Amino acid sequence: MANLATPVFSEGSVPELSDETLAGFSAIVGNENVLTGKADRYAYSRDRMPYGLFKLRADSLPGTLPGAIVSPRDADEVQAVVDYARQRKLRLIPFGAGSGVLGGTVPLVDEVMVDLKRLNRIVDLNTVDGTVTVQAGMNGMQFEQELAQRGFTAGHLPQSIAMSTVGGWVACRGAGQASSRYGKIEDMVLGLKAVLPNGKKVEVRPVARRAVGPSIKDLFVGSEGVLGFITEVTLRVWRQPEYATPLVLAFRTIESGFQALREVMQSELRPEVIRLYDEKESAQRTEGMLEFADRPILCIMKFSGKEQLATVERDMSLAICRKHDAVLAGLAPYEHWEATRFHSYSTKWQSDGHYMDTIEVTGTWTHLLDMYTAMRVAAQAIHPEMHFGAHWSHIYPEGACQYMTVRLPPMPEQDAILLHQQAWDTIERLCLEMGGSVAHHHGAGLFRNPWVRVELNEGLNMLQILKDGLDPDNLINPGKLALRQPTGSTWQMKESA
């Protein structure tokens, strides 16, 4: 199995693009939409990957500076940029808002960033079919607010909604906080348009279903830009729920919580939100609440939709939870979550010099409790002051997403980097050994390359063949999704069997 060791980085200056090359981009998108200043290139040199922040704090970078930033206004300009770059063998990276946490947009060999945020409007809202067509660069929060003004929701509400784009959701195969009711992004996408690495446009028409061979749509959902530029997507939309009602419950053990949540989902009930916290994460949210004195495990649920249906689902779910020895608790934890659901908790700790990261995996009910226990014990054994907490917030009939926070105290950067990577490798190895998936909704990016190779096995070769056919020169976001690194890459993962 792959073993993660220290990445090796090439330091030094990044060659700037020639005036002639830049003039060619300017002729396509306008001079004001080509950025070449060092400050701009520095700002686009990383996403929100914690490892990138650790390098930044040490006056370094996870990769290189990009050669430039180009911002097309529509699909035709995207196509022209791709054609121009292909003719000159220039590498490109699709860029939404940079909210990814695994290095999916990190430049490795001074690639040109293609910022899609000018593709930022709703094209059509079809209230008969219940669909919305939107350009890929539209900000997620603005998109949802515009839908809400017209009485609709897409139901995709990730914590990063205010700092992500609709196209980014699709490219990274994301999941929102209401996934138990509305599904994940792959359940919402009906059709899309994209520009391929060879400069050709492809369209998947938005229909309820098709049987015309393997799903081209699903090649792009989760492709993280390696197969081209998503420029437009058509999603399902729903009427804004007319009614919502929450539950806060206290369980004695994680195991009883798992049993209750499994029964809720296997009973075909669909809460909008369903969240279970381990004892450490529960304690942060229930301090002073008597209900949690002998039942230390917090569970939050929210039911929405038609009032009659939501009430029935709530009552049936409550009965199931009570059967597993849960008791009702005050609504304060739910109200706090609702008020802060789109806030990031990492800023405080990172600003204080800690080394914090989150790891989300998917496990089956058969293995989930053992997976949690093994990962917690292994992570805490890495360092005596290692923080480890977990919650489960995407729940399925077959299992759940386990979302873990690991945090090391301030220490020398070189020591922290090694321990941070050890934590990742330990947790992802255990996930693979227990039959899980190494990524639930954060995607693969760059940082997960070693474990993605193991999970996909021969499937990765299939993806590489497809990539080579569309992009024989490896020009579009090379080195991501565990695919072949570009020549001269500064990211050299040392792996051994």
Annotated binding site: 224-230
- Report strand pairing: 297-305 vs 273-277: antiparallel
The whole-angstrom separation of Cα 389 and Cα 363 is 16
Residue set of the binding site for FAD: 224-230
Catalytic residue among 44, 182, 355, 403: 403
Query: What single-letter DSSP state applies at residue 163?
Result: G
403 is catalytic: yes
Structure tokens at 351: 């600003």
Residues in a beta bridge with 122: 134
Please give the angle made by the CA atoms of 462, 465 and 469, to the nearest 5 degrees.
145
* CB-based contact 477:197 (threshold 8 Å): no
Residue ranges in 274-352 assigned as alpha helix (H): 279-286, 307-323, 332-340, 346-351
Among candidates 432, 448, 381, which has minimal Cα distance to 51? 448
The whole-angstrom separation of Cα 446 and Cα 461 is 17
Q: C-alpha distances in angstroms, 328 versus 41, 124, 290, 319, 348?
A: 52, 44, 11, 11, 32
Rg of the chain taking only CA atoms, in angstroms: 23
Among candidates 421, 443, 444, 446, which has minimal Cα distance to 109? 446
Among candidates 351, 359, 406, which has minimal Cα distance to 101? 359
Among candidates 164, 165, 167, 186, which has minimal Cα distance to 175? 186
- 59 burial class (0-12, 13-18, 19+ CB within 10 angstroms)? exposed
- Catalytic residues, by residue number, are 403
